Amino acid sequence: MAYIKTRDGTDLYVKDWGTGRPVILTHGWPLNADSWDAQALALAQAGFRAIAYDRRGFGRSAQPWKGYDYDTLADDLADVMKETGADSDAAIVGFSMGGGEIARYMSRHGGKGVVAAGLISSVVPYMLQTQDNPDGVPQSTFDQIGAGIQKDRAHFFRHSFIPAFFGVGLVSHPVSSDVIDWATSMALMGGLWPTLACAQAFSHTDFRPDLAAFRVPTLIVHGTGDKTVPIDASGRAAARGIAQSQLVEYDGEPHGLSVTASDRLTKDLLTFLGR
């Protein structure tokens, strides 16, 4: 099944590998389902059914004008689960922005059919710095991201956002330039408007009220060196608010740990899901 149609008629591209208990994977901003390939392949080879899809507006999915709020995105997740028949005994795992779909699905859809959840480098519970969220990211940072995208999106992603995503600096080079090019190519597959609208959604949506809806074992993985989604406002805060959570901190790892610590993440996912 290459595409499913959501309740509002949007076509979403779906990758469906393997057989067995389903694991639905939601990707980060501004990437697409291909960013999960290493883990999806390992899951399929281990006897799971790995389902990853391109969020609306990104990758090979349609780019409608509306629907980049988390209520709609959670409905899209529900529709993917229903249309693929993966709506029972399922695990749902979200990376970065994709963690928001997981949290909102758990509250908006009551966690229907879900037996385990995962938040990987996730934006949950709240990214924006406010008086009651002092560890968050300042609004000025998001303003700079929006300005960079609108001025020269290709340059911004290739030379600013994506290198930082993988922790590349003057001394540190945890990934090759080819990986940066690959991630940039994924980023540029997204539409300009969906890219901007989703940045607004993940940076300003407060998921703290959604945390109580997690009533299943939940794996939280976050890098202590994450400069994109700082761990104090995200992974550590989510672990405090989710009753059945297990927080695994990757010392020094950046945001894109699904690549920089790919083998470790795969092993941790398989161990968690195999419990």
Any idea which residues carry the catalytic annotation? Answer: 96, 226, 255
Neighbours of 85 (CB within 10 A): 12
Amino acid at 235: G
Q: Is the dihedral of CA 32, 37, 40, 44 positive or negative?
A: positive
- From residue 131, how far is each of 13, 123, 134, 135, 141 by CA, in Å? 39, 18, 6, 9, 16
> What is residue 28's three-state secondary structure?
coil
Residue type at 51? I
CB 105 within 8 A of CB 77: yes
Amino acid at 26: T
Tokens of 153: 């999106």
> Three-state DSSP class for 221?
strand
Rounded-to-integer distance, Cα 110 and Cα 105, Å: 7
CA distance 275 to 271: 6
